[in-house]
Structure 1
Amino acid sequence: MAIPRSPRLLETLLVNLDGVVYRCRDDAQWTMEFVSEGCLALTGYLPEDLLLNQRLSFLELTHPEDRTLVRNHVDACMRERRRIDIEYRIVRADGAVRWVWERGVGIYNANGQVEAIEGFLQDVTERKEAAQALQEAERRYRSIFENAIEGVFQTTPDGTYIAVNPALARIYGYHSPEDLIVGLRDISHQLYVEPERRQEFMRLMEEQGSVSNFESRVYRRDGEIIWISENARAVYDEAGKLSCYEGTVEAITERKAHEAEMRHQATHDALTGLPNRNMLHEHLQRALRVARQKGALTAVAFVDLDQFKFINDSLGHQVGDELLKTVAQRLQACLREADMVARQGGDEFVLVLQNQTEGEAGIAEVMQRILAAVARPWQAGDREFQVTASIGVSRYPADGKDVESLLKHADSAMYRAKEQGRNNFQFFAPWMDSQVSNRLEMLINLRRALDQDEFKLYYQPKLSLQDGRLIGAEALIRWESPQQGMVPPDRFIPFAEEAGLIVPIGEWVLRTACRQNQAWQQAGLPPIPVAVNLSPRQLNQSLPDFVAGVLAQSGLAASWLELEITENVVMKDAEKSVATLHALKRLGLQISVDDFGTGYSSLSYLRRFPVDALKIDKSFVRDIVRDADSAAIVKAIISLAHILNLRVIAEGVEDEEQHAFLKENACDEVQGYYFGKPMEVAVFTAWMSEQAQAGQVLSCK
């Protein structure tokens, strides 16, 4: 039985329908003959506004940019007798643009002519905008993927690439991502130089589900070996099954080269290439452990060149450096592979001879061989020279059972060899400790110097390499002894360190420098930071409070004080040093790492140290023009400092060639005899006043 149709029922359906039902003519304006109540919600217009184009036509309701599209689609559908199915935009009464989906059909008469169009409009703005947002997100992701600097990848668990970006292809030396995917089918065997690194990668993935900063050596397509760092994670599907690995790859070959260069520089002498003092101590400690286990004899020989200072001063540093390199080679040639030759500093070398099975006779034979090798004639230009050496020898365990004792006693024996006329060697004997009396006298004089105000501060200017203006000064201590005259720091500072006098001396230096800097400012001179060197013994937890007290007493703002700390000092107890340095930085002063390059700074700790500058040791600056290794080290330090946003200060600049090199390689600040020697207070005050009048003082940091 048919259900009777009710006009009321149809009206209710149309009112409740989420959209607009319409009937219109197929004319230029799509004149509406019927519009349902949903018109107001969709368009903002009442149905009667559109009926017979009383207020506006449906064509005017359609977005101007879409009218041609809609017209062409409707006309084609009417000609081909198919349904209208299209999405386009309309402009609501309030000016808002909405997306609609229209479906409709043509009503044809017996002659096949279109009498009307009937259809339905529905708001699809939210769906359309969501689809567009998804497309935009996909576009952005694709752009990031394609244009990322780091390599991005997805691989199957068995080691086949699924997707890679152009950056990864470039890193591995392939022309395109497709080329890489096709050419690199077996990651374990084709890519990793050490296959066990891939095994370690897989182990970490299985245990942790990810890797971070995973460093490996890999082959590029052309066979070149490079370093990479990977970050990756395991991806699982909805069922919890491993789907793939995805992550990023960064090429770190240059960084690894910098680190290796810095490590080598930290453990080797830049001039001779020999192990330096740090590596000597480590090697000697290992040698003593082996000697204890085996009950073997180990010897330490302290070698000092005779009259080297005369040659160095009269013929120049370049000739002196060539002599040191020649002696280093001759010493190495005299020893076994298991032995070590290290450069202690200056013209001093230390030899470590392990497992001396022939006792003192065997050691004596080696020493005679060394004396003969060093004394062989040596050519410098057109002139021939003969240099001799004095050697002191200490033995484990007879002369000492630790590194310090053996080095100290070998040093004492070397001085005995000097007293015996040079060009000989001496074994250590206990009576040689009488030389300690000379040191005792030095310590007594130092205590008197502190009490009687015999110390003076000299000031050496620091200049900007960019414009040559004065930007700071370093305070340098001098001792005007009534008995000895002017005593340089390298003669009395080691004694002060040994006796613990360096702490009160260092406190005196800090107070004096702060008072003097404040006095300059009160006199109207442009303010500049003054740098003060800190002793290892001063770097403790009480130092920040002491510095704060000195600043308060002097009235000097903390921003005009710079503390210089050697890298070996902070690395002795890096964790405590970091805490102390942070406490100092909170006062507002500046901190620089002095003698950078002569010790060993872990890059991870250097990044944590709250320092403002690195100060390149003068031993490297001296050689930058004529020694490729020194030049490379200086460049590396400058590059590293700038990467860490630190200033770079080069000390010991003595000529225009060094100055030009440093300026060309973007060093920030310089000091040295080429710009100004350390000056007494009065001389420096007058000099700074002249610079200020000439506008050559930069008083802002």
Structure 2
Amino acid sequence: MKTAALSVSSEECFQPGLIPRSPRLLETLLANLDGMVYRCRADAQRTMEFVSEGCLPLTGHLPEALLLNQQLSFEQLIHEDDRELVRWHIGECLRQRRRFDVECRIVCADGSVRWVWDRGVAIYNATGEVEAVEGFMQDVTERKEAAQALQEAERRYRSIFENAIEGVFQTTPDGTYIAVNPALARIYGYRSPEDLIVSLRDIRHQLYVESERRSEFMRLMEQHGSVSNFESRVYRRDGDIIWISENARAVHDDAGTLMFYEGTVEAITERKLYEAEIRHQATHDALTGLPNRNMLHDHLQRAIQARQKGSMTVVAFVDLDQFKYINDSLGHQVGDELLKTVAQRLLSCLRDTDMVARQGGDEFVLVLQNQSGEAGIAEVMQRILAAVARPWPVGEREFHITSSIGVSRYPEDGKDVETLLKKADSAMYKAKEQGRNNFQFFAPWMDTQVSNRLDMLISLRRALDQEEFRLFYQPKLSLSNGRIIGAEALIRWQSPEQSMVAPDRFIPFAEEAGLIVPIGEWVLRTACRQNRAWQDAGLLAIPVAVNISPRQMNQSLIDFVANVLRDSGLAASWLELEITENVVMKDAEKTVATLHALKSLGLKISVDDFGTGYSSLSYLRRFPVDALKIDKSFVRDIARDADSAAIVKAVISLAHILNLRVIAEGVEDEQQHDFLRENGCDEVQGYYFGKPMSVEDFTLRLRDEAIRGAAGK
């Protein structure tokens, strides 16, 4: 095999001026080369005249397979995608009479592809023509793949660097940029990385809003060699301020010398704004923007600690008078606008060092620092009362909303936040009792009143559980014949401690404690059962009226009423629901639908306290109501006040035009009775005809009525 592979002439073993060498020596030398030595003719096929033994390890082919193109030619050995390039390159080198040097791929006997480095020279004859080509082909696959891997890594790094969403940078320790990517240029508002590097030459002063952040950056680098989540405010090129977060490390050479800093930058302005919004929401009221209860406590605590010697820290508890009336009659949207207006008015009365917070509902708390005496405090309170009471326009109408204020002082009235707030609250309730639209300083005796209020709420819960409530019934009479034609169920509280308690003393507390709904449901169930009991006893069948609270209108009232009628066995025609005018107009569209659903059950509906609120005639015409009840405040003065008399006449006329019954409540004397009868009022109720009676007394009244009716027949 070796003889065939060498197949050289004697001339090839001797060269002029060299010591003659034996073919055996040349064979050994070529065999030890890591690659393939070859000689080929200068024909189109590059016909091989000599191939060394390195052919087998390089290509997987025996040398004789290529010799004289016995099995494949040199051209066939070259990968088909590289043949044209190799042919062109070697041809150019031969024409220019210089060595060739080319890298290409070959296809080995097993089908694998390897990279080779092919280099050689042309052999010329005596006439200067190319006689042959001699060359050496060496496997460079590992080097080539390593180079390609490096190029790919560089390409990927460059792609990451260029296309990263985060900014990437390198800076010198003295604060100039060496390299930045496009993302960082965009974050900082520059046209390109080059523009940023040229323009931003002093990071400390040009970039950081607070220049000391650069000092902190350097300190952390010196101490830890890196920074993580380093948040700062920085300037963009246009002067806007944004938030960024940096992660960076110090880069040293082999000798440990600091060369530069490198890292990434993330724009976090939106996150910081969101975090600030979350913090604001946690400490401020969403409606008014004022500090909320949490922030109030923190601020008051700091105000106590910062009090100057000889001065007072003042807490003022402000509660709007009759805010519930506005909310119920005009709706929550109007009520919200009122709260925002009041918040601004309170702010206008205070200094920068003072605070106003919204405690909740229609309650506000003011914290006044370093007050010298009660005279100065009183002056501020009067200013607040006047500011709140300024006219407040709503559409074409104008309201005058007043407030009641309770004042406590540190250190005189309390030494901690909770005590000061509690005592200011107590003083505020005293201001309410004094007629509203005033302020009161806390006094020790007020604690007893607060205790009484709390006792009342506790007792109300007990009263509901232990069935201490009672229903009294006041008769309604026809003005045409004086006969009883109905009754109104009125709640009383049979308290073990206080005997009989009137509703005006405990209903407001029930509203405040959220007990008015279960109490109202008890009234409706009890009244329906009692009316059915009277009918079962053979007494006069009359409708019984029950008042519905505003909060009940927000419950599943329709289903509840239907269930009560079914459970009691009372026909719906013997039940009348009384709903105040303000509740009816609170959400007119919704109320129309609710009233129609109630009316479909077969019961009667009347509008209570008519004339005290406001009603649109267009809505009143659409409401499926049966009667209007004239408020007792108008009935009381009809005999001596022309305006009240005119209003009552107008209501009677309006009701009859709309085919509604008219009921006058609070009739207490003969003059009122005569006026109402003369002006066509249909029904009356009041002390002149009978006070609210217990079940036993009203039962006797019904029996007397039955006897009187029988005698009349």
Classify 1:290/1:124 alpha carbon distance in 2 versus 1 (closer, same or farther; 3 Å).
same
| Aligned residue in 1 for 2:513 | 491
Q: Is the 8 A contact 2:320 2:363 kept in 1?
A: yes
Listed one character per residue, the Cα deviations across residues 398-427 of structure 1 (whole Å, up to 9, x for unaligned) are 221111111111111111211222112222
1:96-111 maps to which residues of 2 (within 5 A)?
96-111=112-127
1:138-287 maps to which residues of 2 (within 5 A)?
138-287=154-303
Q: Note the C-alpha offset of 1:448.
A: 8.8
User: Distance between the aligned counterparts of 1:217 and 1:151, measured in 2?
Assistant: 15
| Aligned residue in 2 for 1:371 | 385
Q: Note the C-alpha offset of 1:44.
A: 0.7
Listed one character per residue, the Cα deviations across residues 523-552 of structure 1 (whole Å, up to 9, x for unaligned) are xxxxxxxxxxxxxxxxxxxxxxxxxxxxxx
| Aligned residue in 1 for 2:633 | none
Most deviating of 270-279 and 345-354? 270-279
Classify 1:345/1:73 alpha carbon distance in 2 versus 1 (closer, same or farther; 3 Å).
same
User: Distance between the aligned counterparts of 2:120 and 2:104, measured in 1?
Assistant: 14
| Aligned residue in 1 for 2:47 | 31
1:505-544 maps to which residues of 2 (within 5 A)?
none
Q: Is the 8 A contact 2:460 2:510 kept in 1?
A: no
1:328-367 maps to which residues of 2 (within 5 A)?
328-358=343-373, 360-367=374-381
Q: Note the C-alpha offset of 1:93.
A: 0.7
| Aligned residue in 2 for 1:299 | 314
Q: Note the C-alpha offset of 1:331.
A: 2.0
Q: Is the 8 A contact 2:457 2:513 kept in 1?
A: no
For the pair 1:20 / 2:36, whether they are aligned, the reply is yes
1:271-670 maps to which residues of 2 (within 5 A)?
271-291=287-307, 294=309, 296-358=311-373, 360-434=374-448, 435-443=450-458, 446=461, 491=513
User: Distance between the aligned counterparts of 2:434 and 2:442, measured in 1?
Assistant: 13
Pair member with larger Rg: 2
Q: Which runs of 5+ in 2 are unaligned?
A: 1-16, 468-492, 496-505, 516-586, 595-713
Listed one character per residue, the Cα deviations across residues 37-71 of structure 1 (whole Å, up to 9, x for unaligned) are 11111111101111111111111111111111111
Q: Is the 8 A contact 2:35 2:54 kept in 1?
A: yes
Listed one character per residue, the Cα deviations across residues 564-608 of structure 1 (whole Å, up to 9, x for unaligned) are xxxxxxxxxxxxxxxxxxxxxxxxxxxxxxxxxxxxxxxxxxxxx
Q: Is the 8 A contact 2:115 2:141 kept in 1?
A: yes
User: Distance between the aligned counterparts of 1:29 and 1:333, measured in 2?
Assistant: 101
User: Distance between the aligned counterparts of 2:258 and 2:512, measured in 1?
Assistant: 66
Listed one character per residue, the Cα deviations across residues 477-516 of structure 1 (whole Å, up to 9, x for unaligned) are xxxx9999999997269xxxxxxxxxxxxxxxxxxxxxxx
Listed one character per residue, the Cα deviations across residues 87-144 of structure 1 (whole Å, up to 9, x for unaligned) are 1111001110111001211111111122221111110011011111111111111111
Q: Note the C-alpha offset of 1:297.
A: 1.7
Taking CA–CA contacts closer than 8 Å with sequence separation of 6 or more, which of the two structures ends up with the larger relative contact order?
1
SS of the residue corresponding to residue 9 of structure 1 reads: helix
SS of the residue corresponding to residue 275 of structure 2 reads: helix
User: Distance between the aligned counterparts of 1:298 and 1:187, measured in 2?
Assistant: 47
Classify 1:321/1:63 alpha carbon distance in 2 versus 1 (closer, same or farther; 3 Å).
same
For the pair 1:72 / 2:88, whether they are aligned, the reply is yes
For the pair 1:61 / 2:77, whether they are aligned, the reply is yes
| Aligned residue in 1 for 2:637 | none
User: Distance between the aligned counterparts of 1:338 and 1:183, measured in 2?
Assistant: 44
User: Distance between the aligned counterparts of 2:57 and 2:361, measured in 1?
Assistant: 92
Classify 1:237/1:255 alpha carbon distance in 2 versus 1 (closer, same or farther; 3 Å).
same
Letter paired with 1:130: A
User: Distance between the aligned counterparts of 1:375 and 1:368, measured in 2?
Assistant: 11
| Aligned residue in 2 for 1:46 | 62
User: Distance between the aligned counterparts of 1:280 and 1:64, measured in 2?
Assistant: 83
| Aligned residue in 2 for 1:512 | none
User: Distance between the aligned counterparts of 2:200 and 2:442, measured in 1?
Assistant: 65
SS of the residue corresponding to residue 354 of structure 1 reads: strand
| Aligned residue in 2 for 1:576 | none
Classify 1:310/1:42 alpha carbon distance in 2 versus 1 (closer, same or farther; 3 Å).
same
Classify 1:447/1:243 alpha carbon distance in 2 versus 1 (closer, same or farther; 3 Å).
farther
Q: Note the C-alpha offset of 1:238.
A: 1.9
Letter paired with 2:424: A
Q: Note the C-alpha offset of 1:321.
A: 2.5
TM-score w.r.t. the length of structure 1 is 0.63
| Aligned residue in 1 for 2:472 | none
Q: Percent identity, please.
A: 77
Q: Note the C-alpha offset of 1:451.
A: 11
User: Distance between the aligned counterparts of 2:460 and 2:330, measured in 1?
Assistant: 35
Q: Note the C-alpha offset of 1:444.
A: 6.0
User: Distance between the aligned counterparts of 1:328 and 1:74, measured in 2?
Assistant: 92
Q: Is the 8 A contact 2:314 2:407 kept in 1?
A: yes
Q: Note the C-alpha offset of 1:272.
A: 2.4
User: Distance between the aligned counterparts of 1:152 and 1:135, measured in 2?
Assistant: 21
Q: Which runs of 5+ in 1 are unaligned?
A: 453-480, 494-653, 657-671, 677-701
Letter paired with 1:95: G
SS of the residue corresponding to residue 265 of structure 1 reads: helix
Q: Note the C-alpha offset of 1:655.
A: 13
Most deviating of 83-92 and 332-341? 332-341
Classify 1:333/1:403 alpha carbon distance in 2 versus 1 (closer, same or farther; 3 Å).
same
User: Distance between the aligned counterparts of 1:166 and 1:110, measured in 2?
Assistant: 64
Q: Note the C-alpha offset of 1:333.
A: 2.6
For the pair 1:9 / 2:25, whether they are aligned, the reply is yes
User: Distance between the aligned counterparts of 1:655 and 1:79, measured in 2?
Assistant: 103
Q: Note the C-alpha offset of 1:204.
A: 1.7
1:85-96 maps to which residues of 2 (within 5 A)?
85-96=101-112
Classify 1:270/1:17 alpha carbon distance in 2 versus 1 (closer, same or farther; 3 Å).
same
User: Distance between the aligned counterparts of 2:70 and 2:417, measured in 1?
Assistant: 107
TM-score w.r.t. the length of structure 2 is 0.62
SS of the residue corresponding to residue 294 of structure 1 reads: coil
SS of the residue corresponding to residue 394 of structure 1 reads: strand
SS of the residue corresponding to residue 271 of structure 1 reads: coil
Classify 1:2/1:372 alpha carbon distance in 2 versus 1 (closer, same or farther; 3 Å).
closer
For the pair 1:129 / 2:151, whether they are aligned, the reply is no
For the pair 1:115 / 2:110, whether they are aligned, the reply is no
User: Distance between the aligned counterparts of 1:107 and 1:451, measured in 2?
Assistant: 125
User: Distance between the aligned counterparts of 1:44 and 1:449, measured in 2?
Assistant: 103
Q: Note the C-alpha offset of 1:9.
A: 2.9
Letter paired with 2:363: E
Classify 1:450/1:70 alpha carbon distance in 2 versus 1 (closer, same or farther; 3 Å).
farther
